[in-house]
Amino acid sequence: MSVNPIDEEHIREPGLVVLDITAKDEDTVRAVLVGLSERWATSGIVPVRRGPGEPGVKARIYADILRPGREDP
């Protein structure tokens, strides 16, 4: 499974982060994505990927930890 590389635009200033999440199932990944979006400004709920022959599921989210998230997702 191919994931786009992280480039300078993704982390161009302090507070911007790229998080790659791996979990056993989609429900777990989605719960993490919702929790992150409540705390910080994020790219939101993103598609979940499965890699052939790799355990679990994966998602990548972009966040700005200096900006607050949504209070009511």
Q: What is the pLDDT of residue 73?
A: 47
Work out the pLDDT band at 2, boundaries 50, 70, 90. Answer: low
The reply to whether 50 falls in a domain is: yes
The contacts of residue 53 (CB under 8 Å, 6+ apart) are: none
The reply to whether 18 falls in a domain is: yes
Bridge partners of 58, per DSSP, are 22, 49
The reply to whether 72 falls in a domain is: no
Structural domain that includes position 14: 9-67
The reply to whether 39 falls in a domain is: yes
Summary mean pLDDT of the chain: 88
* Overall number of domains in the chain: 1
Please give the model's pTM, rounded to 2 decimal places: 0.79
Q: What is the pLDDT of residue 5?
A: 76
Query: What's the rounded mean pLDDT across residues 22-42?
Result: 95
The reply to whether 22 falls in a domain is: yes
DSSP state of 47: -
The reply to whether 4 falls in a domain is: no
Query: What's the rounded mean pLDDT across residues 28-34?
Result: 96
The reply to whether 45 falls in a domain is: yes
